[in-house]
Structure 1
Amino acid sequence: MNIVIVESPAKAKTINKYLGSDYHVLASYGHVRDLPAKDGSVRPDEEFAMSWEVDAKSQKRLSEIAAAVKGADRLILATDPDREGEAISWHVLEVLQKKKVLKDVPVERVVFNAITKQSILDAMKNPRPIDAPLVDAYLARRALDYLVGFTLSPVLWRKLPGARSAGRVQSVALRLICDREMEIETFVKEEYWSILASLKTPKGEGFTASVVGFEGKKLGRLDIKTEEQATAIRRMLESASYRVESVVSKPAKRHPQPPFTTSTLQQEASRKLGFSASRTMQVAQKLYEGVSLGGETTGLITYMRTDGVQIAGEAIAATRKVIASDFGDSYVPEKPRFYSSKAKNAQEAHEAVRPTDLFRRPRDVARFLDPDQARLYELIWKRTMASQMESAVLERTTIDIDASGAGKTAALRATGSVVRFDGFLALYQEGRDDDEDEDSRRLPAVEDGAAVTLASVEGKPGIEATQHFTTPPPRYTEASLVKKMEELGIGRPSTYASTLQTLRDREYVELDKKQLVPQDKGRIVTAFLESFFNRYVEYDFTASLEEQLDRISAGELSWREVLAAFWRDFSAAVDETKDLRVSQVIDALNDLLAAHIFPQREDGKDPRACPTCSTGQLSLKVSRFGAFIGCSNYPECSYTRQLARGQDGEDGDGASDGPKVLGTDPETGLEVSLRSGRFGPYVQLGEDVKGGDKPKRSSLPRGWSAADLTVERALQLLKLPREIGAHPEDGKMITAGLGRFGPFVQHDGTYANLASPDEVFSVGINRAVDLLAEKRSKGARGRATPAALKDLGEHPDGGGAITIRDGRYGAYVNWGKVNATLPKGSDPMAVTLELALELIKAKGGAAPKKAAAKKAAPKKAAATKKAPTAKDDAADGEAADAAPKKAAARKTTTAKTTTAKKTATTPKAKAGAAGTKKDT
């Protein structure tokens, strides 16, 4: 029996059909090992030795693979044909060798670019050894990303409370987004005018021409600055005579774009289909692994993680046949087209993304696919077909016109293009980020020296002078950011989608109308890294490091030497921040983010002057809840606001420095106002009255925009909690409201969560009763006892096991009756025993007295359950959240004091973030 290892069960099932009964295909389900999410998994002092960990699920699969390999005739490693696929094969082989189950079983590595019968059979005939340089490149990347995450993220936590993580590629992508936002904020708009003339030929055919010169001087797009200039030119043209000076027509060709790479597929799917990068890759993965076509599972596209643009010779031949059949011989070029990649640091010489069978037209397979799969397959098919079609033939025409009158002269120009032969445009045209269509304007036939006349528009001379203002560069979309990263050589095809997803998961950026908008949290992290770790977020440095990693995969560099050079400088840079005070960080951020957080005021006053006390200076403040702006005279002056500022001094979400009156409450006659506080926007009924009751307030729930808030919506919030009705069993009232942890319904001390804030205002009695009953059925206090996520072992002073558990309000450390909440943003699986002991101590937990030692210890927690971590291509191993280096102690009061043996030193809990796992 031949044992074949692939990543996914879908591939395993399909490939087993192709290979027959002599083969047994098993799935590894992606990576089988990873670096443990704890300090010491990569050890620079030991030549970057790494410790690998197998989770429970992977352990079970590896045991199944090991059992199958015993006595096998051959082990065939057939994972994906890229660096991550090579690494998975290497990991599997390493584990099997440690289990000593291979013995004399021969091991082969095969790769295929498509899951079709012919591709699989051809691959089996051409085995090779594992590519050691490619594995080395994987090890280098994995170690780099681990070291950056585990070293840089704790620095962020100590110096910037509320920050979550930093990563090698993640942070550079975030900088691109933040730099663009800074360009937009500091952009100074500039006025300019354009002048268009509506003209007619002697035959009465109309066309428009724009002014490109006046009084012998050429005029660029921005050269007409004022209305006075524009008016003078317009009046001259209204009485001028016009003559065609020259007509120049030149043939031109438009050539098709190459077939898709990962990057261009993501860009085009975003522009044409509205897919996010991650959605594109999810759908492409299904098309690659195969769908059932009439009972047989078939892979429809080639491997979708690639930066290669070439396709196989047989695919080119098939494409040319389909073109001739569907469009005619005139659409087939005399010679096949061959492409080469222009991407910086292009590597991994795979085929472009193309259909496995070009004769399988989109209309033929649409009924077997879901809508998204059908649309993406059609896009890939058309792009591949168009890449081998004849070029479009255009005729570009330029008409130059002289205008003279009132002793002055002007030059006008009309341009246009005519498609003489559509070529590949008959099937496909690449999407554009703008709305221009350079081939849509067609000019009339006119001869040199011909007189043309000014047309009349609504009884007036057809001269149009239009005022414009320059606009800032647009925010990045996912498509344009991927394109920019590829141009700079940052990241790799398999990482783009998950890098973007990581930035959104960390709440560093937000997707608004397809645009990537940096959030304050992301801007502060970027500003910090630019101030104190600038080299490591420089575009050139990151691209240079990518190039070195590519040279490792080519066998040109030693991976340990590359790591050593990086670590020497990087660790020194981190050491320099040890004595850095938070006040120094704040001063640096105030300067770097000044345009964002302290924009110039229209009245010319100091933008940092406190609007409340007038004597204080505004400054960035940080807390465990995040960053905000506060007055330097605190606590005498309690003025605070959020960071983001919009037009007219408003916060980014619509709340301003002072109250914004939304309207009046018809019941009380009091004003309803929108305000901004330290923890975000809120609404208030009435005003504070000295010595009187506090006015009613309500924070805006998550997902509500302050900019769109109406007085009606505000009154809904202020009237919470809302009475739903009496419970049918005991007659006690059921209410709905918004709490610290979201929307809820409540009855007699039991709380049940609602799906969204809007449901608070609409939930009925029947649903509320059902939710409360379901909550009570889970156990005491309305919730089930949380299972242990991780067992850290026994407390050194006794008293039972220490475990990590996941509760209603997040993960926490449990030891007996002591529950210590993990710091915000921490990764539960990264918590060490040392850190847990510090948290327990800070909570006031102590070991029981010796006299009580006979008392039964708490029952040992359930078997460890591995929690999911942010392991994806994302950020090439971008840092996931992890626990901070040292938990802050809190003062606690206990009813009884107990003595416990004190350790001589406080354990140092160095935390970080776990790394990558291949998209599966």
Structure 2
Amino acid sequence: MAENLLIVESPSKAKTLQKYLGKDFQILASYGHVRGLVRKDGSVDTEHDYKMKYQVIDKNKKHVDAICDAVKVANNVYLASDPDREGEAISWHILEILKGKKLLDKDKTFKRVVFHEITESAVLNAVANPRDIDNNLVNAQQARSALDYLVGFNLSPLLWRKVRSGLSAGRVQSPALRLICEREIEIRAFTSQEYWTVHLDSHKGRQKFGARLIEWQGKKLEQFDIPTEAAQADILKALNGAEARVGKVEKKKKSRSPAAPFTTSTLQQEGVRKLGMTTDRVMRTAQQLYEGINLGGETVGLITYMRTDSVALSNDALADIRGYIGDHFDKEYLPNAPVVYKNKSKNAQEAHEAVRPTSIARTPDSVKAFLSADQFKLYQMIWKRTLSCQMSPAKFDTVSVDIQVGPQAVFRASGQTLVFPGFIAVYQEDADDVEDDEDEARLPPLEEGEALPVDKLSGEQHFTQPPPRYSEASLVKALEEFGIGRPSTYASIIKTLKDREYVDLDKKRFIPTDTGEVVNKFLTDHFTQYVDYNFTAKLEDQLDEISNGSREWIPVMDEFWHKFHDVVVEKQGLSRKEVTQEELEEDCPKCGNKLAIRLGKRGRFIGCTTYPECDYTRNLNEDADTAPTEPEVVPDRACPECASPLHIKTGRYGKFIGCSAYPKCKHIEPLEPPKDTGVECPTCHKGTLREKKSRYGKLFYSCSTYPKCNYATWDPPIAEACPQCKWPVLTIKTTKRRGVEKKCPQKECGWSEVIEPPPPKE
């Protein structure tokens, strides 16, 4: 066994590090977190300085045991978990486990090493300059973990009792859900407003161009100054036959600077916009690039650590990038001095770097053969963004021309021409929800006083649009702007909202589900402070202050917990009806009592407040005038279980027959009786196999005695025994490759016989 032991988080790093450090080192992985809070109430002792009860994570016990065994024989132990709060906490937890097993021998050295890229120089430098555990970072992670635990273990059970079991609330996920719900409320409340614009089409030589009316009868036009079709028709009528002449021509030079290198947040946003990935997929792919890729026998970390809020680049990286630009581009593309970017985040850790390639000389094309499609696309984007950030600004010639049409109207035509591409030759940042820029058009050379032909005058109708729903990229941007969470947690926040079914995705945009809206309303009504954006951001700032040593963590916990606990206790007395029902100013058409918006298993609906005495319901978006007041009765039939009338009802998967005495009697049956194949069930021999449809519309065949017998098959059955295993039923299967064949449905048998070959290929 080697006398030096280095412990990392991920096993995929081990081979690369072994190559850099040699035989004197043994490399072991913790496989992520080694300990977690005991998942039961009381694991954070609020009466005794928030002391926490930890246990080794079951799936990592064998890895912890391997680390303990290796520590026994090692002289020097280096803790090389990831360079962030979570990584610092993992190293601390490993030391705590070793302490509990009395393995912290005074004769042994235990040190923390940190590297932000997996390159030989970075790793050797880190091992040569170890440090002690940073307790400030550990305390910040402890505080975050305790806060999340206390919120989750106090709010989630409250949601189970007041709304529905299986729900959860989180310190950070709840404000994120509020963002999505409030945007949906804005969209619903939005009233579209009509307005018109007036346009001039003209040309010079062969070049056509357009202009927009900006001034009418001496007044600058605002958005709604032409509100109707009649108003624009009056303007067009007044301009009929008027001459057009060039008025003021204004020429300017404009430049556009490159975007800063990637932080975690901007990497996720661009990965969503440019590559169509999810934030979770971006981070998983970036982790693979960071930990190392096998490049033809040599495993190399391709990018620096991907969890960072810094836009700084090291001096070595700057020299590397500028050298590459000087070798591969004309001298105009290289600025006189390195471009320095300032961090927007006040708590950004300057010791960290932006996300960048570990070597700019390692071009995307040179490593493409060794990367998956996702890895290549993401590496190429990081490489291009990093290279472009040190290139010269792009330069444009812009021109703005005012065109006088008659004495009353001024139209404006704008355009710009790219004179020098600069950084755009390599990379250009995408944006969310931005319309095409009209100024990109090119204009012919025009001189003041020059007469122009009026090819066409026309009006164009517009309607104001509601604010767009959040995409993953715009939600990440909003979370960052509001200070909700930290960039390294954005992907997990979004994943939690999806997994809990609080949100759906429609055309890659977030829509809150009915459950999500009820949960959000409960939290905003009763825990207002704790889903407040400013409160959440302030708490994140306090965690950052704990991590840099300017604030103690126990007072932060005290300030939060005592107020929060009082609110939780106060809200225990709420009834489920208060939380899940919203009474309407509308009377039930069946019994005259009030209606309410209610939450059921399949979402929100409108129902009578006196349920179950009155069973009137209708869909939430169904108009009261068109809603049926009386259920449709099945003629000449009664419930076979309780003799009550049968009703035709509409459920999640369409219409069905149900007992009118529901919920006392829960008898249901399909509206159309299933087709009977006449084939005896091969399992119970009491029923026959019937053709049915799944909830997704796919046909299958199951026993008529279900649920007593649950035999089912996807393929049509025939009453023939298998010649090989004697199973009493065969099935008919049709495929493009084999045509129509008889098959034994017993997997262990596998007998089949083609009865009709596939048609010949043309």
Give the TM-score taking structure 1 as reference length: 0.71
Q: 1:278: Cα distance to partner?
A: 0.4
Distance 1:117 1:386 in 2: 26
Residue 469 of structure 1 corresponds to: 463
Amino acid in the other structure paired with 1:195: V
Residue 914 of structure 1 corresponds to: none
Distance 1:446 1:675 in 2: 73
Distance 2:89 2:658 in 1: 64
Is 1:431 the counterpart of 2:422? The answer is no
Amino acid in the other structure paired with 1:547: D
Distance 1:391 1:35 in 2: 51
Amino acid in the other structure paired with 1:449: G
Is 1:555 the counterpart of 2:514? The answer is no
Amino acid in the other structure paired with 1:368: F
Change (3 A) 1:477 1:718: farther
Is 1:107 the counterpart of 2:110? The answer is yes
Residues 716 and 731 in structure 2, CA contact (< 8 A), matched pair in contact too: no
Change (3 A) 1:742 1:152: farther
Change (3 A) 1:65 1:745: farther
From 12, 15, 18, the equivalent of 1:16 is 18
Q: 1:453: Cα distance to partner?
A: 2.1
Amino acid in the other structure paired with 2:388: A
Change (3 A) 1:367 1:760: same
Change (3 A) 1:771 1:546: farther
Q: 1:62: Cα distance to partner?
A: 1.3
Distance 1:359 1:257 in 2: 21
In the alignment, structure 2 segments of 5+ residues that lack a partner are 630-646, 661-665, 719-729, 734-741, 750-762
Matches within 5 A, 1:898-909: none
Q: 1:343: Cα distance to partner?
A: 3.8
Residue 441 of structure 1 corresponds to: 441
Is 1:420 the counterpart of 2:419? The answer is yes
Residue 186 of structure 1 corresponds to: 189
Is 1:574 the counterpart of 2:536? The answer is no
Residue 819 of structure 1 corresponds to: none
Distance 2:185 2:605 in 1: 19
Residue 836 of structure 1 corresponds to: none
In the alignment, structure 1 segments of 5+ residues that lack a partner are 456-461, 591-597, 599-605, 651-655, 660-673, 689-693, 699-716, 776-920
Q: 1:640: Cα distance to partner?
A: 2.1
Matches within 5 A, 1:146-295: 146-162=149-165, 164-201=167-204, 203=205, 205-295=207-297
Distance 1:697 1:345 in 2: 62
Q: 1:728: Cα distance to partner?
A: 7.6
Distance 1:676 1:420 in 2: 68
Matches within 5 A, 1:539-688: 539-586=533-580, 589-590=582-583, 608-610=586-588, 612-613=589-590, 615-622=592-599, 627-643=604-620, 645=621, 649=623, 657-658=627-628, 677=650, 680=652, 682-684=654-656
Amino acid in the other structure paired with 1:555: G
Q: 1:500: Cα distance to partner?
A: 0.3
Q: 1:55: Cα distance to partner?
A: 2.9
Change (3 A) 1:348 1:5: farther
Change (3 A) 1:185 1:4: same
Matches within 5 A, 1:729-740: 733-735=688-690, 737=692
Residue 329 of structure 1 corresponds to: 331
Distance 2:66 2:254 in 1: 62
Residues 161 and 626 in structure 1, CA contact (< 8 A), matched pair in contact too: no
Q: Percent same amino acid at aligned positions?
A: 46
Larger RCO (CA within 8 A; separation ≥ 6): 1
Matches within 5 A, 1:661-810: 677=650, 680=652, 682-684=654-656, 698=670, 718=672, 720=674, 723=677, 733-735=688-690, 737=692, 746=702, 750-751=709-710, 765=731
Change (3 A) 1:221 1:130: same
Amino acid in the other structure paired with 2:607: G
Change (3 A) 1:88 1:348: farther
Amino acid in the other structure paired with 2:314: A
Change (3 A) 1:140 1:736: farther
Distance 2:363 2:416 in 1: 32
Q: 1:325: Cα distance to partner?
A: 2.6
List structure 1 segments (4+ residues) > 4 angstroms apart after TM superposition.
Answer: 622-627, 656-659, 674-677, 684-688, 694-698, 717-745, 747-750, 759-764, 766-775
Change (3 A) 1:424 1:722: farther
Change (3 A) 1:240 1:520: same
Give the TM-score taking structure 2 as reference length: 0.86
Is 1:453 the counterpart of 2:430? The answer is no
Residues 308 and 354 in structure 2, CA contact (< 8 A), matched pair in contact too: yes
Change (3 A) 1:178 1:771: farther
Is 1:59 the counterpart of 2:61? The answer is yes
Residue 723 of structure 2 corresponds to: none
Greater mean alpha carbon deviation, residues 547-556 or residues 234-243: 234-243
Amino acid in the other structure paired with 1:292: N
Residues 290 and 305 in structure 2, CA contact (< 8 A), matched pair in contact too: yes
Is 1:536 the counterpart of 2:538? The answer is no
Is 1:122 the counterpart of 2:81? The answer is no
Distance 1:206 1:316 in 2: 45
Q: 1:613: Cα distance to partner?
A: 2.1
Residue 388 of structure 1 corresponds to: 390
RMSD, aligned α-carbons: 3.3
Distance 1:403 1:675 in 2: 68
Distance 1:695 1:579 in 2: 35
Residue 702 of structure 1 corresponds to: none
Aligned residue for 1:59, secondary structure, equals helix
Map Cα deviations across residues 538-557 of structure 1 (whole Å, 9 max, x no partner): 11110011001100001011
Q: 1:78: Cα distance to partner?
A: 0.4
Aligned residue for 2:255, secondary structure, equals strand
More strand by share: 2
Residue 397 of structure 1 corresponds to: 399
Aligned residue for 2:366, secondary structure, equals helix
Q: 1:730: Cα distance to partner?
A: 9.4
Change (3 A) 1:761 1:525: farther
Aligned residue for 2:413, secondary structure, equals strand
Residues 269 and 477 in structure 2, CA contact (< 8 A), matched pair in contact too: yes
In the comparison of the two structures, how many residue pairs are matched?
A: 701
Map Cα deviations across residues 681-729 of structure 1 (whole Å, 9 max, x no partner): 52248999xxxxx99865xxxxxxxxxxxxxxxxxx9464775966789
Q: 1:102: Cα distance to partner?
A: 2.5
Residues 156 and 169 in structure 2, CA contact (< 8 A), matched pair in contact too: yes
Residues 162 and 627 in structure 1, CA contact (< 8 A), matched pair in contact too: no
Q: 1:658: Cα distance to partner?
A: 4.9
Aligned residue for 2:111, secondary structure, equals strand
Change (3 A) 1:373 1:725: farther
Map Cα deviations across residues 288-326 of structure 1 (whole Å, 9 max, x no partner): 111110101111111111111111111111112222233
Map Cα deviations across residues 20-48 of structure 1 (whole Å, 9 max, x no partner): 10000000000000001101100111110
Residues 501 and 515 in structure 2, CA contact (< 8 A), matched pair in contact too: yes
Aligned residue for 1:471, secondary structure, equals coil
From 353, 358, 364, the equivalent of 1:356 is 358
Distance 1:550 1:542 in 2: 13
Residues 255 and 391 in structure 1, CA contact (< 8 A), matched pair in contact too: yes
Distance 1:153 1:219 in 2: 54
Residues 414 and 438 in structure 2, CA contact (< 8 A), matched pair in contact too: no
Change (3 A) 1:686 1:10: closer
Aligned residue for 1:302, secondary structure, equals coil
Residues 731 and 745 in structure 2, CA contact (< 8 A), matched pair in contact too: no
Residues 33 and 54 in structure 1, CA contact (< 8 A), matched pair in contact too: yes
